[in-house]
Structure formats: structure tokens, C-alpha cells
A and B are shown apart, each in its own frame.
Chain A
Amino acid sequence: MDEQQTPVQQTPTTAQQLPVEPAPKRPMNLRLLGIIGFGVFMSGIIIGLLFLSWTPKKSTATVQTTAVSATPTPLFTGHGPSYIATQSAFLDIKTTIASISASIDTTTMTDTGIKPPTLDLPLGFTAN
């Protein structure tokens, strides 16, 4: 009987089995870790895709804001119209000078049509 109890006294075997107990828990953790990791991976991909898909919208938005905030560049930097430029007297004289300039250009001093006719005056009856 004692002999039969001997194997019963082998508690260390049960004690040895203690560290074996977590063994079935490892696949559960791994699965959890795998699931979590997969979830993180997928969410990273999704976030990445979302980021990529959102980037153009952000760029157009910035363009719009710059377009609205842009200020017009003056045509003559530092040389805008003067005080006199809008006065009627100034506008009149400007037109007058343009008209005189055109008149001078069209007036000719060498009008060939006005020259007198060229004539052979002597009759040439040399016998007389």
C-alpha cells in the first residue's frame, strides 16, 4: 500500500505541473495580441488612407484662403495717377496735343501735285 502511496507522494509532479498551468493561457494572449495588433495595423491603414484622402482637401482649402487674402498689385508701383490726371483741363490738353501731333504728321511740305506744269515754250520754227 505504501508502495502504492509512493507515487501518490509525488507531489512535486503536481508541483511541477504548476508552471505548466499557464501554458494553455499563452495562445489566448497571443490571439489577443494578434487581434489587437491586427486592429492597430488595420486602424493604422485606415487612418493612413483617411489621411491621404483628406490631404488634397486641406491643400485646396489653403489655396482658397490665400486667394481671398491676396491684395491687388498696383499697375505703376509708386507711380499712380497724379492729382492733375483726372482734371478736365488736363484731359482736354491731352486730346488737343494728340490732335496737333496727327495734323503735323499729315501735313506735307513737298506736295508734288501743286508744282506748275513743265512746258517747252519756244515754238522752234528755226526757219523763221
Chain B
Amino acid sequence: MNNKAFLPVLFFLGIIFSLFPVHIHASSTQAYQDYLFQFDGYRTKYNNFSVAKTEYLKYKTLLSETTALDTTESMMTQRSQLLVSYLKFLTEKVNENKGLTDGQKAQFNTLIADETTFLKNHLTKIAAVTSITDATAVSKELESHYSSFQTIVRQVIVGLSLGDLSFLNNQYKTAQTSLQQVVLMNTSHVSPQKQETIDRWVNQITNKETSYQQAIDAITVNNIPSPKNVNNTDFDGLLTNAQTNLNTAKKQLSDGTSYMKELINLLQYQE
């Protein structure tokens, strides 16, 4: 009787929700879509800029110079907006990351905010450009700053992966502790020989966690370069190297989890 009385309410709620659909998207997904949109705009404006520049360099007419200046300003504005949208995407990724501490998030967000501030100032300068010479001078500010931008971006990217791994590692450690408690509960019910095997496997699971930590320490110490010590050409190599080490750390957790599964199977059945 109560259920029947509740049905019209459910029906009514269903109609309400269908009339007002709620699209739940992660903020980083929306930010990424905006970044891709800005990237498309940048490609278009860069192509226009390239054509106008070629014509200006070829004909040197007033008309071609004006067109070149307009397209250069437009391209530079779009370029900065693209980078701002990318930083916004990174900010959302940092905020959504489950493994980073609040302190780490604040640290990364400060770095990103500094870059955003630089780009917004850069946009103001672009708006004030009146000649191709001005445009070239303003562009060079970004060019010289770009090493710092690249370093910070890669620090954040590696930091996000470290956060992901940290989240997994926390789960791993909790499972490890629980598993050890289960092993203690089971000690009086198994033979000394089997207990010896169980203890050895538990040690190997612990060793995997130690190996993971060593891999993480190596990334933290060696793979995040100082902005002052890195050239433009090193960035992709450094990121690839960091990602290789991140994968090594991840593999330790993966191996350790496989060991846990084996231990579970060992505990599950009698001798």
C-alpha cells in the first residue's frame, strides 16, 4: 500500500528530472574542451598570420603591412588565450587529483597562477601593439619566458602523476595492513611450513612498497628540473624520462597487488 502510494511521487520526480536534465561533467573535462576549442582557433589564426606575413615580406606594401599587423595581433592574442585555457585545464586537474595533499595542490596552483598572471599581462601588451616591430618585441617576452612556462607545466604534469600514484599507494598500504591482520588471525590455523611461506610472501609484498617509494624518491629528486637549468630542447626528454620512472613505480604497486592476490589464494584454501 505504501509502495503504491509512493509510485506517483516517483513518476512526478521522473518527469521533473527529464524536463531539467542535469549534465554532470568534471570541471577538467569542460576545461579540456575549452582548451581544444582555443587550439582550433589558434591554428586558424596562425594560418592567417602566416599567409599575411609571407605577403608582407614579399610585397612590403602598406596594405600587406596592415594585414600582417592585424593577423599578428590576432594570432598572439589567441596564442595567449590558448595557453591560459591550458593552464585553466591544469588547475582543474590539480584540484581534482585525489592523491595530492592540500599543500601540494596550493603549491602547484600558485605556480600556475603566476604563469596565468604573466599571460594576462602579456595580453594587455598585445592590445597596445601599434607596429610589427612592437609585436616582435612583445612576442619576444613570451619567447624568453617560455622555458619557465614549460618547466612549470611539466612539474605539474609529473606532480599529477605522482598524485595518482600516491592515491594508489595509500590504498595499497591500507590493503597491506589489513592483509597482515588477516594473516595474524589465521596463524593458529595453519602449519608452521605454510606460515613460513605466508610470512615470506608478506615480506615480498612489503618490499614492493619499499621499491615503489625508492622509485618515487628518484623522480622527486632527479626528474623535476629547476627552471633555470633547463633548455627548451630538454623538456620532452625530461618528461619522457619522468614518465618512465613513474611507470616503474606503478609497476611495483602492480606487482605487489598481484602478490597480494596470490597470498589471498594461499590463505583461502587448506593445505
Residues of chain A having any CB pair with chain B under 8 Å: 76, 78-85, 87, 89-90, 92-94, 96-101, 103-105, 107, 109-111, 113-117, 119-128
Residues from chain B with Cβ under 8 Å of A119 in the complex: 79, 146
Do B139 and A110 touch (CB < 8 A)? no
Do A89 and B270 touch (CB < 8 A)? no
For the complex, is B171 an interface residue (Cβ under 8 Å from A)? yes
Residue of A whose beta carbon sits closest to that of B85? A117
Residues from chain A with Cβ under 8 Å of B246 in the complex: 109
For the complex, is B93 an interface residue (Cβ under 8 Å from A)? yes
Do A128 and B136 touch (CB < 8 A)? yes
Docked complex: B236-271 residues within 8 A CB-CB of A? 239, 243, 246-247, 250, 253-254, 257-258, 260-261, 264, 267-271
Give the docked Cα–Cα distance between A117 and B24 (Å). 27
4 closest Cβ contacts across the A-B interface?
Answer: A83-B189, A109-B246, A79-B269, A84-B186
Within the complex, the shortest CB–CB distance from A115 to chain B, in Å, comes to: 7
Residues from chain B with Cβ under 8 Å of A109 in the complex: 161, 164-165, 243, 246-247, 250
Do A123 and B168 touch (CB < 8 A)? no
For the complex, is B201 an interface residue (Cβ under 8 Å from A)? no
Do A93 and B178 touch (CB < 8 A)? yes
Residues from chain A with Cβ under 8 Å of B168 in the complex: 100, 103-104, 107
Do B132 and A128 touch (CB < 8 A)? yes
Do B83 and A117 touch (CB < 8 A)? yes
Residue of A whose beta carbon sits closest to that of B183? A84
For the complex with contacts A80-B269, A117-B42, 4 further pairs of A-B residues with Cβ separation under 8 Å are: A87-B185, A96-B178, A97-B261, A117-B39
Do A90 and B267 touch (CB < 8 A)? yes
Do B189 and A100 touch (CB < 8 A)? no
Within the complex, the shortest CB–CB distance from B169 to chain A, in Å, comes to: 10
Do B250 and A123 touch (CB < 8 A)? no
In the complex, which of the residues A96, A109, A111 has the most CB atoms of chain B within 10 Å of its own CB atom? A109
Residues from chain A with Cβ under 8 Å of B270 in the complex: 78-82
From B72, B83, B258, B271, give the contact of A78 (CB < 8 A).
B271
Residue of B whose beta carbon sits closest to that of A122? B143
Residue of B whose beta carbon sits closest to that of A75? B269
Do B189 and A84 touch (CB < 8 A)? yes
Supply 6 A–B pairs (Cβ within 8 Å), ascending by A. Answer: A90-B182, A90-B268, A104-B257, A107-B168, A121-B143, A124-B53
Give the docked Cα–Cα distance between A123 and B139 (Å). 7
Residues from chain B with Cβ under 8 Å of A104 in the complex: 168, 250, 253-254, 257
Do A100 and B82 touch (CB < 8 A)? no
For the complex, is B133 an interface residue (Cβ under 8 Å from A)? yes
For the complex, is B142 an interface residue (Cβ under 8 Å from A)? yes
Do A85 and B267 touch (CB < 8 A)? yes
Residues from chain A with Cβ under 8 Å of B190 in the complex: 82
Residues from chain B with Cβ under 8 Å of A126 in the complex: 57
Residues from chain B with Cβ under 8 Å of A100 in the complex: 168, 171-172, 175, 257
How would residues 143 to 180 of chain B score, 1 for a CB under 8 Å from any chain A CB and 0 otherwise? 10010011001100100110011001001101100110
For the complex, is B135 an interface residue (Cβ under 8 Å from A)? yes
Residue of B whose beta carbon sits closest to that of A80? B270
Do A76 and B182 touch (CB < 8 A)? no
Residues from chain A with Cβ under 8 Å of B56 in the complex: 125
Given contacts A100-B175, A100-B257, A119-B79, contact A110 B269 (CB under 8 A): no
Docked complex: B29-53 residues within 8 A CB-CB of A? 32, 39, 42, 46, 53
Give the docked Cα–Cα distance between A110 and B154 (Å). 12
Residue of B whose beta carbon sits closest to that of A79? B269
